[in-house]
Structure formats: C-alpha cells, structure tokens
Amino acid sequence: MQTHEERVRQRAYELYLDRSGEGGSALTDWFQAEEEIRAAEDAAVDEASQESFPASDPPGAY
C-alpha cells in the first residue's frame, strides 16, 4: 500500500505528464496533487463514517 507522500508524488508526476512535460512548476504540481489526494482521502473517510453509524445514531449525537 502506498503512503500518502507516494500517492502525492505519483499524482504530481501525472500532472507533469499531462502538460507533456512542458513549462509549469513542480511545486504547483505538488500542491495540486496534495489537494486532490487529501480531498479523495477525506471523501473516503466521510463515506466510511456514514456507513459505520446507523441513521438513528449519528456521530456526536450524545
């Protein structure tokens, strides 16, 4: 299983390739990749949380 950093590195490289390796900034690619990976991880956590609690007993209901 890849670490968070490995996923970010891979996505940043994909963004670079999407530009055909032309221009742009490695730092900009890295920040965009971090944002995309973090959003995907947050969405997965949110989805898992919704599946873990019955509708009648949401987290923080107490």
pLDDT at res. 46: 67
* Total-model pTM: 0.67
In a domain, 53, yes or no: no
In a domain, 9, yes or no: yes
Tens-place pLDDT, residues 1-59:
889 999 999 999 999 999 888 888 999 999 999 999 999 988 887 666 666 666 666 66
- Cα dist. 13→4, 29, 62 in Å? 14, 8, 45
First to last CA, the chain: 36
pLDDT at res. 50: 64
Determine the structural domain holding residue 27 and report its residue range: 1-37
The total domain count for the chain is 1
In a domain, 61, yes or no: no
